[in-house]
């Protein structure tokens, strides 16, 4: 793979913090093009991917389950990882968060009928693929980038994730 995830994250961060509006790069035959938009354009582009915006602004059918049935089941798992993280953080300062490098849909497995890439308790290394983030019809494999053990999976399969959102907790070696 010509572009490594950590390189892409760093490029995006640097471009985001700079006054550069467009960036183009070619590496080993692969081309990368990044274009910054205005905040208004960014909101329009991310609105279909952002669950709150879609639920509240666009679809009453989606908005109804979110306040009643969906948050109750989602609310239970969401607070559950919080206490785990707090307890583990107190016990071990060697926890690393694997975060989403982009906005998209989180998938634990390469196909609906396939086994998940990783489970809690699995050992990973820097090159281990831990999940897929689908963004704009492209499947992006996310690598652990650290060596250690998966101690928590912080998002549900099929859940929309934001840039920088923690996906996994890894106890580093």
pLDDT in tens, 79-115: 444 444 444 444 556 899 999 999 999 999 999 999 9
Go through the domains of the chain in sequence order and give each one's CATH number.
Answer: 1-36 (no CATH), 86-172 (2.40.50.100)
Q: Which has more pLDDT, 57 or 159?
A: 159
pLDDT at 38: 54
Q: Would the pLDDT of 138 be above 50?
A: yes
pLDDT at 92: 54
| Structural contact between residues 105 and 132, judged by C-beta atoms closer than 8 angstroms | no
Sheet holding 104-107, edge to edge: 138-143, 129-135, 104-107, 160-161
Tell me the pLDDT of the chain averaged across its residues: 73
CA separation, residue 141 to residues 74, 158, 168 (Å): 25, 15, 14
Question: pLDDT grade, residue 141 (50/70/90)?
Answer: very high
Alpha helices for 47-94 (secondary structure H): 51-53, 60-63, 71-75, 81-91
| Structural contact between residues 119 and 169, judged by C-beta atoms closer than 8 angstroms | no
User: What mean pLDDT is predicted for residues 42-68?
Assistant: 41
Question: pLDDT grade, residue 76 (50/70/90)?
Answer: very low
Q: Which has more pLDDT, 3 or 168?
A: 168
């Amino acid at each position: 793979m010509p572009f490594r995830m950590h390189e892409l994250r760093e490029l995006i961060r640097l471009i985001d913090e700079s006054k550069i509006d467009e960036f183009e790069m070619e590496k080993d035959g692969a081309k990368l093009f990044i274009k910054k938009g205005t905040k208004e354009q960014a909101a329009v582009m991310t609105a279909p991917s952002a669950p709150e915006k879609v639920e509240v602004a666009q679809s009453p059918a989606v908005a109804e389950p979110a306040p009643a049935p969906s948050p109750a089941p989602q609310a239970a798992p969401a607070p559950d990882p919080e206490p785990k993280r707090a307890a583990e953080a107190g016990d071990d300062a060697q926890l690393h968060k694997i975060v989403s490098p982009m906005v998209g849909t989180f998938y634990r497995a390469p196909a609906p009928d396939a086994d998940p890439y990783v489970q809690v308790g699995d050992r990973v290394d820097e090159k281990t693929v831990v999940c897929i983030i689908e963004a704009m019809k492209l499947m992006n494999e996310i690598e652990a980038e650290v060596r250690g053990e998966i101690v928590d999976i912080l998002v549900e399969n099929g859940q929309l994730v934001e840039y920088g959102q923690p996906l996994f907790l890894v106890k580093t070696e």
